[in-house]
Amino acid sequence: MAKSIEQTIKQCRHCSKKTVHHRASSKTGLIMFLVHIVLTIVTAGVWLVLLLIWMLLNTKIGGWSCQECGK
């Protein structure tokens, strides 16, 4: 999977203003999206639960960081 940097404008808790936030993300793409749908159907929804848990964990690890203060 290709690594990329995602960027967005978010309200920073440390700067108390809207700043550019960035995080590393792995592009999943349309094929992975279709794979997830197929696996969700095949596993009767179990895959979706696992995917949601994985996404939650991934968000905690690769969270957004402010470009101004680095937090």
Candidate ranges 8-16, 22-30, 33-41, 52-60; the one touching Zn ion (CB under 5 A): 8-16
Q: For residue 8, how far is the Cα from the chain centroid? A: 12
Instruction: Give dist(CA 16, CA 22) in Å, integer.
Output: 17
Binding status of residue 21 toward Zn ion by CB under 5 A: no
Helix (H, G, I), strand (E, B) or coil at 2: coil
What DSSP line would sit under 28-56, residue for residue?
A: -HHHHHHHHHHHHHHTTTHHHHHHHHHHH
Binding status of residue 15 toward Zn ion by CB under 5 A: yes
Q: Tell which one of 10, 14, 18, 27 touches Zn ion (CB under 5 A).
A: 14
Candidate ranges 20-28, 35-43, 49-57, 63-71; the one touching Zn ion (CB under 5 A): 63-71
Binding status of residue 66 toward Zn ion by CB under 5 A: yes
